[in-house]
Amino acid sequence: MNDLLHRARDIRLAIFDVDGVLTDGKLYFLVDGSEFKTFNTLDGHGIKMLINSGVRTAIISGRKTPVVERRAQNLGIQHLYQGREDKLVVLDELLAELGLDYSEVAYLGDDLPDLPVIRRVGLGMAVASADAFVRQHAHGVTSARGGEGAAREFCELIMRAQGTLAAAQSAYL
């Protein structure tokens, strides 16, 4: 945990995958071909707290769906990239735009397309339900599964390392 806290101290941008991270990884299709996803409210509030603490946020997803755009807007996620298979290319574009270094980025993923980013950033984590190979190569693994509080745990780790978690929590007292 000390290594994770050390890595999380200088994070200025937190990036999330969607399927299997912000959701349980299941794809739900209706008869008409439309798609829906379920999101965890604890994860959502964790992301809002992280944004309020001054950390920028982004989503990079290989799939493209209107429900993810709506969720990102509802949470105030500043940067949304959908339908992008090469997540490392997106990361490089985003870092150039924001003037950030890899060491200032945290990423939470679950599957092989996430692995190049997980290995490149300052804090690359996997959810508990991630592919075993991805978990093996991540800096850390959440105790929660994707879509079941893993993003909240990730956000709180960053805020704890930066000394902003207690203030975020006490705002509700």
Residue boundaries of the structural domains of the chain = 1-167
7-60 pLDDT per residue, tens:
999 999 999 999 999 999 998 898 998 888 999 999 999 999 999 999 999 999
Provide the mean pLDDT of the chain. Answer: 96
Q: Which residues contact 106 (CB under 8 A, 6 or more apart)?
A: 7, 8, 11, 13, 14, 15, 121, 122, 123, 124, 125, 154, 158
pLDDT for residue 77: 98
Percent above pLDDT 70 for the chain: 99
Domain range 1-167, CATH class:
alpha beta
More confidently predicted of 170 and 104: 104
pLDDT for residue 34: 85
Determine if residue 10 is labeled as part of a ligand binding site.
no
Determine if residue 17 is labeled as part of a ligand binding site.
yes
pLDDT band at 172 (very low <50, low <70, confident <90, very high): confident
pLDDT for residue 36: 87
132-155 pLDDT per residue, tens:
999 999 999 999 999 999 999 999
pLDDT for residue 1: 64
Is pLDDT of 127 > 90?
Answer: yes
Determine if residue 131 is labeled as part of a ligand binding site.
no
pTM for the full predicted model: 0.95
